[in-house]
Structure 1
Amino acid sequence: MSVRRCSRTACVAPAIATLTYVYADSTAVLGPLALAAEPGSYDLCSVHAGRTSAPMGWEIIRLPLDGRAPEPPQASDDLMALADAVRAIGLRHDEPAPPAAAPARDAEPPVPGGRGGHLRLVQSND
């Protein structure tokens, strides 16, 4: 198993944490390094994990990285329930949405010589 590196540009330190954004809830979750690299999540080293902040108007949830309690004590039941829900959603594989129905087309064929788009009929001189 290879060591995953920090996702920050030019940083070669080993990653110890994973940052995931939950856009629907305007929440960023910083927790222990995920078992596998996931699209849309960022692996961070200890320096960058410590400096990470959430975008304005967003909430950041910091889960313990090494078994210790998080530095800012936020042990509310609602917060932990949200973190559990975020983890559960992040670990499951979403089923693809059914394909959208094709738009209905006119039953009439296009008028010859009519303007139908960017393609044109070129007649040969033979």
Structure 2
Amino acid sequence: MTSAVARTRTCSRAACGAAAVATLTYVYADQTAVLGPLATFAEPHTYDLCSTHATRLTAPRGWDVVKLAVDLSEPSPSEDDLSALADAVRAAGTAERQPTPAPAARPDPAAQEAATEELLAGSGRRRHLRLLPED
């Protein structure tokens, strides 16, 4: 499959799964919080916010808040997103299904220990760890 479905970034606030529409950046040297349009790439020291959290934004006491022009409407899926999703569904539906392998038989602990001893005997190393069978 050559096309991939574009993933929408979500709000950085805990337990919020809404689509992000704005990016919040803190400028610590100036004690300023800047809320602007959604950044092109997710940066480690910025926070993506949904429209609800962007409108409720407050800054620490003594800090300034700069709100740049931000379109707070939720982004709608583009034609590229929809066609990529359709291609992915089509590819998943036509893919040949591979048979699931049978569960592996539980190895005999004595045989496993003998094989490990044989490997270690040729290396001249002392064995200091032991494999315990599951009960």
State the TM-score, normalized to the length of structure 2.
Answer: 0.48
Q: Which amino acid aligns with 1:55?
A: P
Match of 1:64 in 2: 69
Summarize deviations over 1:97-118 as a string: whole Å, max 9, x none.
xxxxxxxxxxxxxxxxxxxxxx
* Identity score, percent: 63
Summarize deviations over 1:30-69 as a string: whole Å, max 9, x none.
01000000011100000000001111000000001129xx
Matches within 5 A, 1:1-126: 1-66=6-71
Instruction: Point out the structure with the larger helix share.
Output: 2
Distance in 2 of aligned mates of 1:14 and 1:66: 13
Summarize deviations over 1:4-50 as a string: whole Å, max 9, x none.
00000000000000000000000000010000000111000000000
Distance in 2 of aligned mates of 1:24 and 1:14: 30
Q: Which amino acid aligns with 2:71?
A: D
The runs of 4+ residues in structure 1 deviating greater than 6 Å are none
Q: Which amino acid aligns with 1:42?
A: Y
The gaps in structure 2 that reach 5 residues or longer are: 1-5, 73-135
Q: Which amino acid aligns with 1:10?
A: A
State the TM-score, normalized to the length of structure 1.
Answer: 0.52
Aligned residues: 67
Higher relative contact order (CA 8 A, sep 6+): 2
3-state DSSP class of the match of 1:24? Answer: helix
The gaps in structure 1 that reach 5 residues or longer are: 68-126
Q: Which amino acid aligns with 2:70?
A: L
